[in-house]
Structure 1
Amino acid sequence: MSRQLSFNPQKEFELIEYPGKVVNPDRMLATLGGIINISKVLGDEVKRLPLRFHPENPYNKPAFGDCSEKTGVLLSITVRRHKKDRQRPPEYFVRVLGHCSRVFTFDSLCDFQYLPLWSTPRSDSANAALELTYALDQLMPRDSADLDFFKRRHSQLLSLPELFTHVDVVYPGSYRTDSQEDGQQEVLGVQSKATYDNQGVISFNMVDSFPTQADSQNLKRLKVKYVSDEQLACVKKLFDDCPIWTRIALQYESGLTNDKLKCITPSLAYYFSNGPWRTMYVRFGYDPRKDFNSRYYQTFDFRLRFSTGLSEFVYSKKFVKQRKAANASSGPSEDGSSDLVQDIDYPYFDEHKLPRSRQCMLRYSDVRMARIQEMLEKIPTPLTGAVCNERTGWLPPGFDAQVRQIVCSTISELLRSHYRKEHLTAEVEAVPQTDAAEEEDEADVEEEEDTQEEDMEQDESQTEQYPDTDIEQLLDNITS
């Protein structure tokens, strides 16, 4: 058996998988709208190829073919057999006629196909059986000059809807049945799982036991991703020192990239998707439900309400990261907000700076404010055998609201001080000063500082008097 090959890869074809047996190519082209319509569809990347089973009948909906990117080769194979010697193996001649890069397939559903048929009784039948007659010529005018069409009386009425179905693609999903809820559930809402394959994502509850060791697949992933022993030991030491961490805190303290942590953390800790420790990584074998000290690591979800003052400094996390990446080549940003707002990769909340983004997922221990840490210390130790709450953990009800109010007051006072400094600086730059005027201004500044201290004391008394005031109300007087 011998084979001969010849190639012609320069010629490109368009493949149309016609859903039927082609006997007459001309009639096949007519069902696709003719060669002109096919050329229009092939020249457009968006159009679908219509297929009408009855090209002359307007009362049927076409089936559409969708274009998809596929690679194919058109081959021509010729087989030659010896007529005299049948035992000799045949010879094959293979030619490559060309190639194709896309194909039209008719995988969509077909809608109802109607024919304009009228039922008329047979004149030659004694039983007066009905006969179906193709009445398209009676329902439509022959041409634009056929004025007799409007004088004809139709014995029957054919009225069909213009559209039967809105879509012709099969929906691959399946509907889920929601469980019946009685409204008594108090567990925090479940967030979506991480985009990567994390085997340790669990839901918080008071019944089930938490994982004590990592999955075997996660341990194998460490070798595939080329994680060094030093990197693994660094993260393991952090979990030995503190059993619960946030992702951004692990990245900040370890100095590793996010891709490395995605491989390391599933082998050392599991991840809570809801509950008091939502979005936290907990060391394997550690049960926060049994340790009263785990209250320091509960989730503090802080979100900013924006008004005129805050929107000038704090942006969304996505916007800040894009701007940071754009400024990486030209150096750090030198705008005024960089000194007032915390860095986007800084995992803690300091008292003298604004939050890093509009929403911050923190541990209560990450809020570095003496007043809040004292509140955590003063929480009374529960009795022996007591368990934490499924919603609030080891913290009393309303504790998160009090902490949020303190943080909002701190942010409000920080913005007030910032705007006062800008106002004083603008006044000093606008008025030229002499030596005598400088001495007078120093006295005025001292009086102004005393006035500021009195205003701060008055603001603190008002904050204590109205503890439920939100950040928007606190910032109403900033620009006045």
Structure 2
Amino acid sequence: MGVIKDGKVSGRLPADDSFAVHHPGYPSTTSRAIETLGGVEGIVKARCSQSNRLELRFRPEDPYSHPAFGELRLCNNLLLKISKKKSCDDLSAKVSDRLPEASNSENREQASQPEIQSVTSAKENEAQISEPDKANLCADIVARVSEAYHFDGMVDYQHVLSVHADAARRRKRNWAETEEPFFKKDGFMDMDEEDVMMLLPPLFSLKDVPENIVLRPSSTLSSKKKQEQVMQHCSEMQIERALAIDFNIKDILLRINWEELIAEGSELWESQMAVSKLFDERPIWPKESVAEHLHDKGLKFSNLMLKRLLLGVAYYFSKGPFLRFWIRRGYDPRKDPNSRIYQKTDFRIPDELRSYCDTNTDKELKPRWGDLCSFQVFPFKCQTFFQLFELTDDYIQEEIRKPTKQPTCNSKTGWFSENVLDCLRLRVAVRFLSLFPKPGAEKILKNYSNDFEKSKRTCIYKDAVNPDQNEHQENSKEFTGNEDKDMRKSIDDEEEEIEAEEEEEELDAYGTLNLAGEDNEGPLQRDSCIL
């Protein structure tokens, strides 16, 4: 057993293990404390249970009292047994030796001073006896304490009946006379007069730990507040309509006067103005490009906050050639042939190279959007959508600026023909495959390069002859090959999955969007830039 003496520990620590209970009250005795914990049987039952929660009742005799539950936590303590050893043998011997001397001296003193001498002797004896006993404190280490129960919840509240039997007896009220006429012949349902029927509610408290709750606003609002709510409701209605608009819709959304809904000079107003200026530069933006441009200006937003700012000035289609690109409110790309330069294309990593995508998806350092558009790094996603206008490639920029021969904008290829769009997609694939950082892509790059050259010759041939001839359309399909057909089919299937997943994500996020910025909303959060 370990011993603590004079501030030093000696001996060995015991191997016995125990647990402690931090009792939240001041029980009168140890037995009473054990009784509030359910007795020894209740403690053993709690230790053997799966939850291992210890129940405590301040009034174990009252079955209606609300119990508290102690949670078991790990600790690293020791159980000490403190003893106090008195060393008063020498002191008692000295006092016994001096008592006879004091009595003999009293007899030898003169008769004129007996009272003074006796008083003096008595004081000396009292001083000797009243000296504090010298004591040594010693602490023995009994056991280790590795676990302890803590009671953090409220324990002293219960459902108190308005009429209680004990209170009734103290007030000398006759329950049979006051209440029995309301019952049948047997009175209190054949119960004794000392008993009172107790009907407890099934649940009168949901929590035993105090928490701050947000109460609903008062129903009596001022007229100004009601007008603000009506304006806010209208803006939210317009925002909700901007989520995943069908490409075949007749009329697109008009511009929102967000300047009237946000206080000028506020942080939210400055952020919304920065996003609005981007759409003044060009009408259609990918979300990744918007985030990077704002980041370069020193503005960092969370994904949800960026969507909120975009919904104030833009909308997007759920499908079509501008899929998931944010379009300025009031601008309809289906009626403007010049919008063809803002259409989308994509790059899908071939199945043979998907292992690179799987190993680099979880990396924290992800390439910048501008580096991807300028073909400086290889994409880390299996499929990435790009805007033709942002791709740094002379061939692509030359092709998208040629006059369109399509009379209308269709939902599949937009203002381009299918051959031109396939040729642009192959050009993007050739540029990225030439950047693949690992060996093994040479054969795939060669196949894509051959397909690109065939597709380019097909586009030239289609421009030189009458585009209405059906035989040329069949020839163009043969040039692209079966592999390209399978790729387009898988791309279309994946686009449909992306549409469904992202549309559900947007609708879930809309529940927290608030363009006007209510008073109960927290400060503008700029925590991260989603690229």
TM class, shorter-length: 0.3 to 0.5
Larger C-alpha radius of gyration, 1 or 2? 2
Higher helix share: 2
TM-score (norm 1): 0.40
State the structure with bigger RCO (CA 8 A, min sep 6), 1 or 2. Answer: 2
